[in-house]
Homo-oligomer: A and B are copies of this chain.
Amino acid sequence: MSDDAAANQAANDETPTAGASESLGVTGERLRSFIERIERLEEEKQALADDIKEVFAEAKATGFDVKTIRKIIRMRKQDIDQRKEEEALLETYLAAIGMV
């Protein structure tokens, strides 16, 4: 493993005045905080995924072909990506010739 001590739950007492449990508690708190933040975000992300699914369902109910819609969206995304790339390239060129 790369980092020193992964989830340092075992470990060394860093605050001499405190008990071992204290510093452990702090580390644990931070870890828990990270985990919960991530879980919260993933929950929201999942909610959005569900929303998207719903919209597809609605489109389907309206009589549209979902697969085709997906294809269109993919194409549009490609276009956007490409456009962004082109703009980025343009920026690079402009920067290269000192036009900021």
Contact = CB atoms under 8 A, between A and B. Distances in A.
A92 B39 contact: no
Interface of A: 1-11, 30-31, 34-35, 37-39, 41-42, 44-45, 48-49, 51-52, 55-56, 58-60, 62-65, 67-69, 71-79, 81-82, 85-86, 88-89, 92-93, 95-97
Give the 8 A-B CB pairs with smallest separation, nearest first: A6-B96, A6-B65, A6-B68, A9-B63, A9-B97, A10-B63, A10-B97, A45-B48
B39 A76 contact: yes
Contacts of A51: 41
A13 to B, nearest CB: 14
Provide the main secondary structure of the chain A interface: helix
A7 B65 contact: yes
A55, A65, A79, A86: residue with the most chain B Cβ atoms closer than 10 Å: A65
A96 B9 contact: yes
Nearest to A70: B38
28 contacts: A1-B65, A1-B76, A1-B79, A6-B68, A6-B72, A6-B96, A7-B72, A7-B96, A8-B64, A9-B63, A9-B64, A9-B96, A10-B62, A10-B63, A30-B62, A30-B64, A31-B59, A34-B55, A34-B64, A41-B55, A42-B73, A45-B52, A68-B89, A71-B89, A72-B89, A78-B78, A78-B81, A78-B85
